[in-house]
Amino acid sequence: MSVQSPAPQKKPWFLALLSALDGIFVYLTAGISTREFRAMLRGDAPGRPNTRLTPHADAFLLHIKPSYYHESVTRFTHTYRLGLLSTYLFLFETITGIILMIWYAPTPERAYVDMIRLLNNVPFGQLMRDLHRIGAELMVGIVTLHMVRTYLTGSYKPPREFTWLTGVLLLVITLFLSFSGYLLPWDQLAFWAVTIGTSMAEAVPPVFVGEIINLLARGAPDIGASGLLRFYLLHVLFLPLLLILFFFVHYYKVVLYGISLPAQEEEVGEDTANRVPANRRVYYLPEVLLDEGTFLLAVTAIITAVTVFLFQAPLEHIANPQQTPFHTVAPWYFYWLQGLLKIADKMWAGVIIPGVLLVMLMAIPYLDRNPSRRGADRRVATISGIVAGVLMIILSWMGTPAYAVQGAPALEVVEKLMPEEKVGISRKIGYKHIPLGTYDSREPITTDDAEFAKLLDEFVHLLEVWEEKAPDFNDPWGLLTVTQDQANLKLLRWEITWISNAGTEEYFKQDYWLHKDSYYWEQYGRKKFGVPEFLEMQNGG
Amino acid sequence: MRSLYVRSFGSKLIWGLVSSFVIVVCVGLTAQTEETRMEIQTRNWEGRGIENGAVIFANNCATCHGQQGQGLQGVAPALNSRYFFTRRLGDVGQDGVMTLSNYVYLTVAAGRPSKDNSQWANRMVPWSSQFGGPLRGDQVVDVVAYVMNYEETALQQTASEDPFQPFLDVAKPPEFQNIGISADAEWTPVQLAVTSVLPMGDRDPDYLFGALACSGCHKLDEPQAPSSMGESGPNFGTIHELGTYRPEAAADPAAYIKESIVSPDAFRVESYDDAMPDDFASRMTEEEIDRLVQWLLDPDRVTHTRDAEGNIIDE
């Protein structure tokens, strides 16, 4: 400290201006001067005392982050930044979600109409919805991968048992967040997936408790206005708040104990994550910040590009409680539950097994007494983890309609060519590739349209496949009659006749209409919208 | 310190810039095509609404209004009709007041009661759940979109092609008869025969069969057989050979037919919906019903040609 301040000197005006600007810079960066900032950009080592630490003390957002990391844990291949990415995706979902909330009202009368309005009339509306949807799917995946990484590196071991436990809770909250958002578009996909999901809660013993839980979730014996409002509030208010709470508990523990080092770098039973030698410190400012920033920017770029060019969030027909879709499926991350439900009864598959699994997952750090985190010492843990993962995948496959669900063969054939929901070949080739006329599967295909010939080919092929596959489906033959029902509206009548084992002739008929302008979402990439001929092509159909 | 990293400080900066660039390009491309995208989406969802409406129409409306919207004489008016798209709104005094689309919406949603003395035997019931009907609001919207989609074909119809039937519930002063069609004088609606119903009492069965619109759903000269089923109601060509559907009726066919007229829901063949009006008991005397039943059961029954007042003109 100077004993006596020097006599004030008169500075030239431009130096005074620079000094004022420097002051503003220091103010905005919570303590980094322009000189220090240039040194950072040059890659100079911090001086002593390290003035780059000031923001960690002064700025709220930075005080949560550690000021330096151990060099080993900053390597990408140690954590893959999955925890950071999970947090980022939560922020991403919050931002896109709030934008979507502007055009949405959670009532059965408006929800679906609002979806269509968002797609039809809101600039960037479809982009926001697609981003929100892809972010939600990704978040479930990334949080799960984060858990798998933590498991494989044994990072849940002391002193991080509680961190793991809160992490499992965060995974559960993430699943429920994603699932509660599923209902909001109020389409068939949403309605029936959530009907299946909540019906599992009904299996909680004893019976009246299950009924009460189901009633609380749905707001009525069946999902309706109350159920939608409840899921909406869960999705936009309760679950995010719960997630934020557990996130801070989780992250506080992460900072408190530090990120566990690669197992080879410390003795078995030791934890030296917080004792970082001076020569192995990597400061958050600027290295790690830049690292994280670049990483998140790159991920955002990938998500945006995939969404813009490849991904469309599905929107099926409006929810119809009177009509169960042909194959009802849960969201993909609950396929394993649906698979369990096919082999066990509702109480076991819906309540007891998932409950025990969840408790076991949370209890892993307390059950696994092996002090070593090294791969060579934890073969049992690694192998059981892989077995559990493979089991999950098999159960998930069993949860898809591919396993042990089979409708009537005739219905399966038509469902493949022109499904109730989704696209199918017929809607994919579209209105203009389906000429009027009657087409018999027993007669040779005579059509000039190559796309339509492919459809008829597939019709014949599917009939053969199902004749072999299904025991009670003999000598099937099909008729496709295409008529012009109205201007720009064709009626496709699918008729299948076959002989049952009893020798009687059986008959199946399904009518579907196809409008010239209806475009099913899997059918187009957004990039095509930019092509001027695209509109003309549609007009000329 | 830098050497500890896989990538250099500078290359990270470049990666960050490249990523930002990709984001800007993607959002920019989207911005450029938003106008087209919204137009395509709007048409897409309109198209899908019509597809949904077609299913609802086929399941609920086609029985009376016809598979092609051609209507059914005495039961329900034609919708795929030039008259319907050009004149109907004026005839109900709503030209310039409401749109045809809203008129159709209101009719579907809230129904349209017919007067007993008009030629429409059935009342259009309310279809929207708002008025106690079976359809949700969005389904009504879709079916209206489907009906309105008849416009293009309907407007191309000539007079002989228009399946139009006059709406007798609308009183039309003669001087207003031709409003709205002056541009196309060739097209004049063909007025159909039945204009009023004689008072209850001593009416002939063949007159009643036409005047009460039984003929709208039941064909007299076609047999009811697996290969030829009446679309809206059973054909009566072979009604004297009862028992196909209800074996116990074979013993007393007259009683069965009478029951079907007086309370149609007492026994109904599954493939038919409940389109049969249940008020015939109040529109005919007991004696008239008995004679109608006997006439139906007679394989050699005679149907006379009649004028608008119901007088026989073929003798």
Is there a single domain that holds both residue B91 and residue B163? Answer: yes
Contact A496, A413 (CB under 8 A): yes
Q: How confident is the model at residue B178 (pLDDT cuts 50, 70, 90)?
A: very low
Query: Which of B19, B26, B68 is closest, CB to CB, to A298?
Result: B19
At residue B80, φ and ψ (nearest 5 deg) are -85, 65
Distance, C-alpha B130 to centroid of its chain: 20
Show residues of chain B in contact with A304, CB under 8 Å. Answer: 22-23, 26-27
**Distance between A37 CA and the closest CA of chain B, angstroms:** 14
Instruction: Determine which helix (DSSP H) or strand (DSSP E) holds A8, and give its type and residue range.
Output: none
Average pLDDT (B263-284) is 76
Superfamily of structural domain A76-261+285-330:
Cytochrome Bc1 Complex; Chain C (1.20.810.10)
Share of chain A above pLDDT 90, in %: 58
Find chain B residues with C-beta within 8 A of A306's C-beta: none
pLDDT of residue B176: 40
Query: Stretch A477-482: mean pLDDT, rounded?
Result: 94
- Percent of chain A beyond pLDDT 70? 94
Helix, strand and coil percent figures for chain A, each rounded to 5? 60, 10, 30
Q: Which residues of A touch B43 (CB under 8 A)?
A: 517, 519, 538
Nearest alpha carbon to residue A185 among A123, A122, A133? A133
Average pLDDT, chain B: 78
Cα distance between the two ends of chain B: 116
Task: Say how far apart CA A520 and CA A524 lie, in whole Å.
Answer: 8
Q: Of A44, A188, A513, A533, which to mutate for an interface test with B (greatest number of B Cβ within 10 Å)?
A: A513
Compare CB distances from B40 to A121, A124, A519 and report the shortest one's residue.
Answer: A519
CATH number at residue B147: 1.10.760.10
Report the C-alpha gap between A16 and A20 in whole angstroms: 6
Predicted confidence (pLDDT) per residue in A125-154, tens digit: 999 999 999 999 999 999 999 999 999 999
My answer on whether B67 and B146 are in the same domain is: yes
Residue of B nearest to A278 (CA): B1
Same domain? For B164 and B219 the reply is no
pLDDT of B58 above 50: yes
pLDDT tier at B187, thresholds 50, 70, 90:
very low
Rg of chain A, C-alpha, whole Å? 30
The residues pairing with A506 across neighbouring beta strands, listed in sequence order, are A498
Residue B32: which of A43, A294, A530 has the nearest Cβ? A530
Instruction: Identify whether residues B113 and B168 lie together within a single domain.
Output: yes
> CA–CA separation, A462 vs A424, rounded Å?
13
Query: A45: which chain B residues are within 8 Å (Cβ-Cβ)?
Result: 1
Q: How far is B239 from chain A (nearest CA, A)?
A: 27
From the list A475, A479, A529, the residue with the least C-alpha distance to A506 is: A475
3-state helix, strand, coil in chain B (%, to 5): 45, 5, 50
Closest Cα of chain A to B167: distance in Å?
A: 24
Q: Are B9 and A287 inside 8 Å of each other by CB? A: yes
- Give CA–CA dist A91/A299, Å, rounded: 13
Q: Are residues B167 and B253 in the same domain?
A: no
Contact list, B32 vs chain A (CB under 8 Å) = 530
CA distances to A275, A415, A437, B20, B65 from A483, rounded to whole Å, are 78, 20, 7, 51, 19
CA distance B8 to chain A (A): 10
Q: Answer whether residue B240 is part of any domain.
A: yes
**Average pLDDT, integer, range A232-238:** 97
Identity of the highest mean pLDDT range in A231-245, A433-447, B189-203: A231-245
Check whether residue B172 and residue B211 sit in a common domain.
no
Identify the residue among B30, B129, B271 best suited for mutation to test binding to A, counting A beta carbons within 10 A and taking the highest. B30
* Res. A186 pLDDT band, cuts 50 70 90: very high
Share of chain B above pLDDT 70, in %: 75
The pLDDT of residue A522? 59
* Under 8 Å between Cβ of A365 and A161: yes
pLDDT (tens digit, 9 = 90+) per residue, A358-396? 999 999 999 999 999 998 999 999 999 999 999 999 999
Residues in chain A, how many? 541
Tokens 């119903």 -> residue: B197
The kind and range of the H/E element at A469 are helix A450-469
Q: Which residues contact A134 (CB under 8 A, 6 or more apart)?
A: A303, A306, A307, A311, A313
Beta bridge partners of B306: B312
A104-126 per-position pLDDT tens digit: 999 999 999 999 999 999 999 99
Residues on chain B touching A285 (C-beta within 8 angstroms): none
Residue A222 is encoded by which pair of tokens?
Answer: 């069946």
Can you tell me the distance from the alpha carbon of B298 to that of A254, in angstroms, rounded to the nearest whole number? 94
Mutate to test the interface with B, among A80, A114, A120, A282 (most CBs of B within 10 A): A120
Q: What are the tokens at B131?
A: 């008025």
Write the single-letter amino acid at A36: E
Residue B247 has pLDDT above 70, yes or no: no
Cα separation, B190 vs B192, in Å, equals: 6
* Chain A neighbors of B2, CB-CB under 8 A: 43
Residue A430 to residue A451: CA distance in whole angstroms: 9
Chain A residue closest in CA terms to B130 = A109
Q: How many structural domains is chain B composed of?
A: 2
Which chain B residues touch A518 with a CB distance below 8 Å?
Answer: 44, 47-48, 51
Distance between CA A283 and CA A68 in Å, rounded? Answer: 4
Contact A43 B9 (CB under 8 A): yes
Whether B26 is in a domain gets the answer no
- B33 lies in a domain? no
Stronger pLDDT, A459 or B273, i.e. the higher one:
A459
Residue in chain B closest to A513 (alpha carbons) equals: B51
- Count other Cβ atoms within 10 Å, centred on residue A525: 12
CB within 8 Å: B152 and A486: yes
Domain with CATH 1.20.810.10 in chain A: 76-261+285-330
Q: Is the pLDDT of residue B298 over 90?
A: no
> In a mutagenesis test of the B interface, which of A122, A486, A533 is the best target, namely the one with the most B β-carbons within 10 Å?
A486
The band of A514, judged by pLDDT with boundaries at 50, 70 and 90, is very high
- pLDDT score at A25: 93
Confidence category of residue B179, pLDDT binned at 50, 70, 90: very low
Say if the Cβ atoms of A518 and B44 lie within 8 Å. yes
From the list B30, B44, B149, which residue is nearest A308 (CB)? B30
Burial (CB count within 10 angstroms: exposed 0-12, middle 13-18, buried 19+), residue B226:
exposed
CB contact under 8 A, B26 and A124: no
Note the helical H segments in A32-187: 34-42, 54-58, 60-63, 76-79, 82-101, 111-121, 125-152, 161-182
Q: Are residues B232 and B130 in the same domain?
A: no
Q: Does B32 map to a domain?
A: no
Q: What is the model's pLDDT at position A520?
A: 78
Structural tokens at position B45: 């969802």
Is A529–B33 a contact, with Cβ atoms under 8 angstroms apart?
yes
Burial class (CB in 10 A: 0-12, 13-18, 19+), B176: exposed
Length of chain B: 315
- CA-based nearest distance B84→chain A, Å: 16
Q: How far is CA A64 from CA A82, A183, B155, in A?
A: 18, 35, 71
The pLDDT value recorded for residue B167 is: 62
Question: Is residue A200's pLDDT more than 90?
Answer: no
Joined tokens for residue A234: 């869960």
What's the rounded Cα separation, in Å, for the pair B64 and A288? 73
Instruction: Considering only the beta carbons, identify the residue of B12, B44, B58 that sits closest to A511.
Output: B58
Closest approach of chain B CAs to the CA of A529, in angstroms? 6
* pLDDT for residue A441: 92
**Contact across the interface for B51 and A291, Cβ inside 8 Å:** no
Average pLDDT over every residue of A307-332? 88
- Whether residues A290 and B9 touch (CB distance < 8 A) is answered with yes
The answer as to whether B10 is a domain residue is no
Cα of A204 vs its chain's centroid, Å: 27
Which residue type occupies A252? Y
Query: Contact A260/A373 with Cβ under 8 angstroms?
Result: yes
Do B55 and B170 lie in one domain? The reply is yes
Q: Which residues of A270-293 are buried (b: 16+ CB within 10 A; e: fewer)?
A: ebebeebeeeebbbbbbbbebbbb
Mean pLDDT in residue range A312-318? 90
Residues B78 and B152 in one domain: yes
Pick among B44, B79, B155 to test the A interface (most A CBs inside 10 A): B44
* The token pair that represents B285 in the structure block: 């005397």
Q: Which two tokens stand for residue A44?
A: 């100079």
pLDDT, tens digit (0-9, with 9 covering 90-100), for B34-56:
888 888 889 999 999 999 999 99
Q: How many helices (H) and strands (E) does chain B have?
A: 11, 0
Q: Looking at A419-517, which runs of residues are DSSP E strands?
A: 437-440, 474-486, 489-499, 505-515
* Cβ atoms of B297 and B253 closer than 8 Å: yes
CB contact under 8 A, A526 and B54: no
pLDDT in tens, A332-357: 999 998 899 888 888 888 888 999 99
Q: In whole angstroms, how far apart are CA B58 and each of A303, A340, B46, B272?
A: 43, 40, 18, 14
CA distance A60 to A43: 25
Number of A/B CB contacts below 8 angstroms equals 149
Structural domain including B239 reads 205-297
Are A529 and B36 within 8 A, CB to CB?
Answer: yes
Structure tokens given for A167: 């992490």
Question: Which two three-digit tokens encode residue A32?
Answer: 């980094």
The answer to whether B24 and B17 have CB atoms below 8 angstroms apart is no
Q: Indicate if B131 and B73 belong to the same structural domain.
A: yes
A1 by Cβ neighbours in 10 Å (0-12 / 13-18 / 19+) ranks as exposed
Contact criterion met (CB < 8 Å) for A304 and B22: yes
Predicted confidence at residue B121, as pLDDT, reads 61
- DSSP sequence for A316-382: -SBP-TT---SS----GGGHHHHHHHHHS-HHIIIIIHHHHHHHHHHHHHHH-------GGG-HHHH
Its ipTM equals 0.88
pLDDT of residue B183: 37
Mean pLDDT for chain A overall: 89
Cα separation values, A278 from A289, B1, B118, B199, Å: 19, 11, 99, 111
CA distance B27 to chain A (A): 8
Q: State the best of A81, A317, A515 to mutate against chain B, taking most chain B CBs within 10 Å.
A: A515
pLDDT of residue B195: 42
Residues B39/A535, Cβ–Cβ less than 8 Å = yes
Per-residue model confidence (pLDDT) at position A521? 63
B56 and B164 share one domain = yes
Q: Are B164 and B83 in contact (CB under 8 A)?
A: yes
CB-based contacts of A118, cutoff 8 Å, min separation 6: A100, A103, A104, A125, A126, A128, A129
Cα–Cα dist A428/A522, whole Å: 8
Q: Please tell me the distance in Å from B51's CA to the nearest CA on chain A.
A: 5
Query: Cβ of A304 and B33 within 8 Å?
Result: no
Q: Where do we find the tokens 């909250």?
A: A173
| Chain A positions in Cβ-Cβ contact with residue B55 (cut-off 8 Å) | 511, 513
pTM comes to 0.82
C-alpha dist (Å) from residue A391 to A148, A284, A339, A345, B53? 14, 40, 11, 18, 45
The first and second tokens of residue A442, run together, are 């027993």
Contact A123 B34 (CB under 8 A): yes
CB contact under 8 A, A511 and B6: no
pLDDT tens, residue by residue, B74-125: 778 889 988 889 888 887 778 888 999 999 999 999 988 665 445 666 678 8
Could A123 and B26 be called an inter-chain contact, meaning their C-beta atoms sit closer than 8 Å? Answer: no
